[in-house]
Amino acid sequence: MNPTKVTIAGVLGVITTLGLLYLMNSLVNTEFAPPDETKSVKIPDIRMSNTKIETRMDDAKPEKPQEPETPPDLPEPEFDAPDVSGDALNMSAPIAKADIDVGGNSLAFSEGEYLPIVKVPPEYPSTALSRGIEGFCTVVYTVTETGTTRDPQPIPDQCITKDGKPTTVFNRASVKAALKFKYKPKVVDGKPVEVPGVKNKFTYEMQK
């Protein structure tokens, strides 16, 4: 071991120790003065200047708008008067009607027999109307105990055009109309009964 280094280290250690002792002694003996509670901080007064607010009313009236100029008179349009003579109004109109029903072998109604109360005419089929087809269609159905109709069926050889050619163009409209019929039901021995085989002929024609 080098004796010189040992000596230097020992001297430095002694100096460091003495310095620490002196510093500790200085801190212990230092007197700290308590804060002075009697002193106060004065806050300056802030004052707002007296400001007077003046309100001014605008009494100026708006200018009167100028009146619009009157438009010039326009000439009345001229139209040709329509022809309302009798020849001009003679236009074709379709007619569809429900003829009297043909139930049984006699058209005479006796007491207790069924009687038609409501017979609604059929609508003219649009196909027949557009093609100018006229004709007839007979439908057979049953009058029920309550006076309604059921099971209407068109008779093929009795649904024809006006010139006698068979057609089905009137079948649907005729069946639909027959379902809307209302009857006074037939009464037998004081009780209403059904009447099958009742026929009704529908006529479709253009009014000339």
pLDDT band at 82 (very low <50, low <70, confident <90, very high): very low
* 103-156 pLDDT tens trace: 543 444 455 788 999 999 999 999 999 999 999 999 999 999 999 999 999 999
What pLDDT, on the 0 to 100 scale, is given for residue 5?
A: 78
Residue 73 to residue 91: CA distance in whole angstroms: 41
What pLDDT, on the 0 to 100 scale, is given for residue 22?
A: 82
Structure tokens at 64: 């009167």
Say yes or no to pLDDT of 205 above 90. yes
Say yes or no to pLDDT of 207 above 70. yes
pLDDT band at 1 (very low <50, low <70, confident <90, very high): low
Residue 194 to residue 114: CA distance in whole angstroms: 9
**Mean pLDDT of all residues in 10-34:** 79
* 157-174 pLDDT tens trace: 999 999 999 999 999 999
What pLDDT, on the 0 to 100 scale, is given for residue 47?
A: 66
Query: The dihedral of CA 31, 32, 34, 40: what is its sign?
Result: positive
What pLDDT, on the 0 to 100 scale, is given for residue 98?
A: 67
Residue 200 to residue 196: CA distance in whole angstroms: 12
Looking at domain 93-104+111-207, does it have CATH number 3.30.2420.10? yes
Structure tokens at 164: 């006698």
Q: What angle do CA 86, 92, 95 make, to 5 degrees?
A: 125
Residue 138 to residue 159: CA distance in whole angstroms: 6
* 56-78 pLDDT tens trace: 666 666 676 777 676 666 655 55
Q: Indicate the average pLDDT of the chain.
A: 78
Say yes or no to pLDDT of 192 above 70. yes
With CA atoms as reference, report the closest residue to 140 among 188, 91, 198: 198
Q: Which residues pair with 116 in a beta bridge?
A: 183
- Predicted TM-score of the model (pTM): 0.52
pLDDT band at 54 (very low <50, low <70, confident <90, very high): low
pLDDT band at 30 (very low <50, low <70, confident <90, very high): low
Length of the chain measured in residues: 208
What pLDDT, on the 0 to 100 scale, is given for residue 101?
A: 61
What pLDDT, on the 0 to 100 scale, is given for residue 2?
A: 73
What is the separation of C-alpha 107 from the centre of its chain, rounded to a whole number of angstroms? 53
